Amino acid sequence: MAASPSAERVVIENCAVATVDAHDTEYACGHLVVAGDRIESVGPGAAPEGLTGVVRRIDATGHLATPGLVNTHHHFYQWITRGLATDHHLFDWLVALYPVWARIDEPMVHAAAQGSLAMMARGGVTTAVDHHYVHPRGAGDLSGAVIRAARETGVRLTLARGSMDRGESDGGLPPDFAVESLDDALAATAATVAEHHDASFGALVRIAVAPCSPFSVSTELMHRSAELARELGVRLHTHGSETAEEEAYCHARFGMGPTDYFESTGWLGEDVWMAHCVHMNDADIAAFARTGTGVAHCPSSNARLAAGIARVPDLLAAGVPVGLGVDGTASNESGELHTELRNALLINRLGVHRQAALTARNALRLGTHGGARVLGRAAETGSLESGKLADLVLWRMDTLAHASIADPVAALVLGAAAPVTASFVGGRQIVGNGRLLTLDEDAVARTTRDEARRLARLAAGGLRRTPGAPDPRTG
């Protein structure tokens, strides 16, 4: 849709541009024109002459312009439990931390969401997913707290309204008071969609249906969640094939691997994306490709929890949609997506494909267009093209950290974390010179520290299980 002639325009010039369009078009020195909330034009050299309504011109000499980063998997509440259980694999880590997470409440979740979003925004994220599945009884409006924080920060949000209905007494991992009944989970999810989901082009908030995982959710909840999502016209999200232990668990409990289990419950399709997908065989990858099921690749978290190396080159070769995810900051304490560009490239080169696994441009595509495709938003964002939303980042590349690297995309992906001079969401600038413009970062830091300490006091004694002790689900 063309911008109105009266639209206010921002002109960005003299920067390298990586559009991440279908042809990976790049300009060594180019321009962008933003009109309202859309990109009006992008191309080589200076902006067109005779533009009206120009309210600002940015000389972006020494910068690289890219699409805003898209984070396809996160757990915002974990911002206030960083640095705990640092030497655990997934199941021991969950058993150690669920007694803590079971004590979260609305003020904690709001503070943690602000901290998570602020850190991501400072590092170039313009669209983020929060998979929130811990809903302790009496904790308040946790979905509302997350959405309020996203609006305050200015980042585009998909809230994956999660759920669990298998507590300890039913063989699950979390305490019973931290899970919901099947009917309550479905009703609360439907209510969240009804209140908050916006299906329009450029929406700032969307909702997905997102039961947690095969080992914390009943088969009936998986079935009925898929039915609910399709009835309401929203996307589906969950964890899948994260660890070898999960693979063994699914075979023991369901008589099949995770991918076959997901297919049997209606959880493969173009409206579905799953986090991790580390332990997948050729048949699993083929099923994802056949159904258009997406993947949120979380390289740092996978390494932190010793989950393994996802087969990202094989997923991409098969045509599976793949984006990047930070994952929760209890398993990726940096909380930043731009570091995942580098880690995705490096970790995948440790696999069988070695140096041919991924290129720097593959990594940038995963973090931008790939993520937008996974979230069903590739027509709106994820690349710098005329008519798309003005979700874009200016990375400063002329400092000591990057100035001697001739290729700006290689510098961004392989070099040190590049400073963000400006980040825009729908044409609104939310970061300037590396600082968040929408919130007081120092105030957010104080609040998150205070809420982390309050949570630790409430959960005192909750981290006593010895790593390697028997898994309570299997005895």
Q: Is the pLDDT of residue 475 over 80?
A: no
The pLDDT value given to residue 472: 32
Same domain, 292 and 424: no
pLDDT at site 95: 87
Are 54 and 86 members of one domain? Answer: no
Query: CA–CA separation, 84 vs 364, rounded Å?
Result: 30
Q: Are residues 284 and 274 in the same domain?
A: yes
How much is the average pLDDT of 188-203? 98
Write down which residue in 374, 399, 421 finishes a domain: 374
Using 50, 70 and 90 to split pLDDT, how confident is the model at 461? low
Give the mean pLDDT of 447-458: 97
Residue 379 lies in a domain: no
Shared domain check, 99 and 149 = yes
Are the CB atoms for 406 and 397 separated by under 8 Å? no
Q: State the Cα–Cα distance between residues 109 and 144, nearest whole angstrom.
A: 10
69, β-bridge pairs: 125
156 with 14, same domain: the answer is no
Q: What is the CATH number of the domain that holds 113?
A: 3.20.20.140
Do 332 and 394 lie in a common domain? no
In a domain, 463, yes or no: no
Residue 3 domain flag: no
pLDDT at 468: 37
Residue 448 lies in a domain: no
For 277-314, the pLDDT digits (tens) are 999 999 999 999 999 999 999 999 999 999 999 999 99
| CATH code at position 413 | 2.30.40.10
Distance CA 116, CA 207 (A): 18
Same domain, yes or no, for 77 and 59?
no
* pLDDT given for residue 178 in this prediction: 85
What is the structure's pLDDT at 237? 98
- Where in the sequence is the domain holding 52, given as residue range(s)? 9-67+386-436
User: Given a cut of 90, is residue 203 above it in pLDDT?
Assistant: yes
Listed residue (85, 93, 191, 89) closest to 135, CA to CA: 191
Pairing assessment for the beta strands 294-297 and 322-324 based on DSSP bridges: parallel
The amino acid present at 451, given as its one-letter code, is: E
Helices (H), 19-153: 90-101, 106-122, 142-153
Does 245 share its domain with 321?
yes
Same-domain status, 299 and 405? no
Given 333, 351, 374, which residue is the final one in a domain?
Answer: 374
pLDDT digit string, tens, across residues 139-163: 999 999 999 999 999 999 999 999 9
Enter the tokens of residue 249. Answer: 């668990």
Please count the structural domains in the chain. 2
Strands 428-432 and 26-35: unpaired
pLDDT confidence of residue 369: 98
Q: Does residue 281 share a domain with residue 227?
A: yes
> What are the tens digits of pLDDT across the range 212-269?
998 899 999 999 999 999 999 999 999 999 999 899 999 999 999 999 999 999 999 9
Single pTM value for the model: 0.95
